[in-house]
Structure 1
Amino acid sequence: MASITLKNIIKRYGHGKAATQVIHGINADIRHGEFVVIVGPSGCGKSTLLRMVAGLEEISEGEISIGERVVNNLEPSERDIAMVFQNYALYPHMSVFENMAYGLKIAKVPADDIKARVDKAAKILEIGPFLQRKPRELSGGQRQRVAMGRAIVRQPQVFLFDEPLSNLDAKLRAQTRLEIQKLHRELGITSLFVTHDQVEAMTLAQRMMVMNAGVMEQFGTPEEVYNLPATTFVASFMGSPPMNLLKNAPDAPPNTITGIRPEHLDISPSGWALTVEAVEMLGAERLTYGRWAHGVGDELVIIRTEEAHTAPALGSTICVTPRANKIHHFDAVSGLRLGTSPATPARL
């Protein structure tokens, strides 16, 4: 087990005036045994950052340490890491056992130790019955567990996961998330996990790094990120449906954006007047979409209520009241949260 320290990490492609900077000064301390998720939309730089930790991408500026060692100039094989990829990267002609054991054989680990490590990893991942099968005989979820088993047997200081669940269907994704949580509890190995899926981020992370266009917008626990978003980007990206971000909210301070999550708006006899445009039934809950009545503005407001509430008629006017202690205010120009936050965005 080891900590990971990122100091002012910058990545540029190209040289001189033609260089394009894609990572803008990332600073983070990841503790021994911590599970950190790097989350953000496609193209935000999250996989590039992970690949720099792995040694698969060069660092333009800054310093990466794993444990007590600065690893900027070390090859991937010298960093004591194991990586799990999106595409599994299994050898099709080898059995499950041979795939899991291959790296250890190359490292000239004794055969008895190899068998012991593979058997232990197979037991943890519940793939013992499949050790003699070829990858083509396995489901997608089973192949992903083999890929994780291949990483486990290495006994590394750090696990790096690059969108490992992207190829699985929704049911398997949920099941594999539980397996990864169980795996981390049992092994306690420092882990960096990259995903664009906010559900994966919220359910897996002990802390999460929310990235946007190469900038770390916020680094904090899932609760901090959801309840106290540091920027309008974080507020809109984390949450489904996203936080309502309103320029025309009544009684809002000048030059601000008012944020309120859909579940923190209550239908009431008076309050904000909205014209109902659509209603979505989502099993145990309902989403109501309304626009300001009486020409206040053209913004769409989303309200989340329990299924037991009577659905409002399309075209009708309803009133909602925001819960006073759940209202957020952001600067209209910078998008930064007004007031203090436990996780300050990196660009401040």
Structure 2
Amino acid sequence: MASLTFKNVVKRYQQGKQSLQVIHGVTAEIADGEFIVIVGPSGCGKSTLLRMVAGLEEVSEGHILIGSRVVNDLEPADRDIAMVFQNYALYPHMSVFENMAYGLKIRKLPAQEIRRRVDKAARILELSHLLDRKPRQLSGGQRQRVAMGRAIVREPQVFLFDEPLSNLDAKLRVQTRLEIQKLHRELGITSLFVTHDQVEAMTLAQRMIVMNAGHMEQIGTPDEVYAEPASTFVAGFIGSPPMNLLEGQATAAGRLAVGGLEIDLPSGEGSPVSGAVILGVRPEHLVLGNSGWPLVVEMVEVLGAERLIYGKLGTAMMVVRADDSHQHPRIGETLYMTPQPGKLHWFDINTHKRIP
């Protein structure tokens, strides 16, 4: 096992006489045995960053270190990493055992050692009873476990996961997430996991890197990223539904002009700056009651034990998460809400960065 370090990593592609930069100076320290999730929307550069670690993409500037060794110029086979892809990429004519053992045979390991490693991985992944089957005889979740087993038997320093759950249905995704958590607890190998799914990121990560257009917006634990988003992008990306973000004009009197209305802010929780500002508040941190900010209901989503109530605060769109103890509101009805104490977030109107 080993640590993983990014030092001002840049990636650019040459397009004729022009270059297109897709990764902008990523710097991060990943501890030995840590499970890091890189999360962001499609095209943000997360898979490119992972492929640079794997050696499938060249590093344009900066350095990537596995342990104390700079790996920029090493071939993928020499980096001591194992990668699990979105596509299972199993050999259809080989059994589960043969698929998991193939890479070890290429490396000419003794048959006894190959059997030991495959049996160990199969036990961890609960595949022991499937070792003689062909991939066509397996479910999608079982095939993905075989692909993970093929990576485990390498006993690498670093695991790389490139959206490995994208091809699974919702139930299997939950089950496989649990298996990946169990796998990491048992093996303790440094892992880098790429996904666009924030639920996967929040449930799997010890720490997460949020990417946006090739920039690292924030790195932190899921709790840190949720509780103190570094920018409006992070605030709007992490959380379901996303944080309400309201552009307004703050006054020294603890009021905010937003959506054509003036609303009172909780005592002692006014804007840290006067003038133009962005206020953020999560839907689950708004409490319905008999007074407060007026919300004109436009749509209600019933999700079993909870409801998402969409409406307008003046002209500004907002969403409130409420439990099923509240009466189902009518479209056009005016509800009143107040934010929970200490749950307001403030962002700079120009940079969209968090205001301390």
TM-score calculated relative to the size of structure 1 = 0.95
User: Deviations along 1:102-146, whole A, 9 cap, x unmatched?
Assistant: 000000000001001101100100011111111111000000000
Where do 1:170-249 residues align within 5 Å?
A: 170-248=170-248, 249=258
Partner of residue 169, structure 1: 169
1:9 has 2:9 as partner: yes
Q: Shift of the alpha carbon at 1:15? A: 6.2
Q: Shift of the alpha carbon at 1:274? A: 1.3
Q: Could you tell me the percent identity over the aligned residues?
A: 70
Where do 1:299-314 residues align within 5 Å?
A: 299-314=316-331
1:39 has 2:39 as partner: yes
When the two chains are superposed, the root-mean-square deviation of aligned CA atoms in Å is 1.0
Secondary structure at the aligned position of 1:102 is classed as helix
1:283 has 2:298 as partner: no
Where do 1:122-133 residues align within 5 Å?
A: 122-133=122-133
Partner of residue 120, structure 1: 120
Secondary structure at the aligned position of 1:161 is classed as strand
Structure 2 regions of 5+ residues with no counterpart? Answer: 249-257, 265-270
Which aligned segments of 4 or more residues in structure 1 are displaced greater than 2 angstroms? 248-253
The CA distance in 1 between the partners of 2:281 and 2:231, in whole Å, is 13
The CA distance in 1 between the partners of 2:295 and 2:285, in whole Å, is 15
Cα distance, 1:17–1:228 mapped onto 2, change above 3 Å? farther
1:272 has 2:293 as partner: yes
The CA distance in 2 between the partners of 1:255 and 1:84, in whole Å, is 46
How many corresponding residue pairs?
A: 335
Pick which of 243-252 and 233-242 moved more: 243-252
Pick which of 151-160 and 242-251 moved more: 242-251
Letter of the aligned partner of 1:105 in structure 2?
K
Letter of the aligned partner of 1:10 in structure 2?
V
1:260 has 2:281 as partner: yes
The CA distance in 2 between the partners of 1:98 and 1:242, in whole Å, is 45
Q: Shift of the alpha carbon at 1:324? A: 3.1
Letter of the aligned partner of 2:332 in structure 1?
G
TM-score calculated relative to the size of structure 2 = 0.93
Letter of the aligned partner of 1:227 in structure 2?
A
Partner of residue 153, structure 1: 153
The CA distance in 2 between the partners of 1:254 and 1:57, in whole Å, is 46
The CA distance in 1 between the partners of 2:2 and 2:239, in whole Å, is 31
Letter of the aligned partner of 1:132 in structure 2?
D
Partner of residue 325, structure 1: 342
The CA distance in 1 between the partners of 2:212 and 2:342, in whole Å, is 28
The CA distance in 1 between the partners of 2:103 and 2:16, in whole Å, is 40
Secondary structure at the aligned position of 2:275 is classed as coil
User: Deviations along 1:222-266, whole A, 9 cap, x unmatched?
Assistant: 000001000000000001100000114435542211000001101
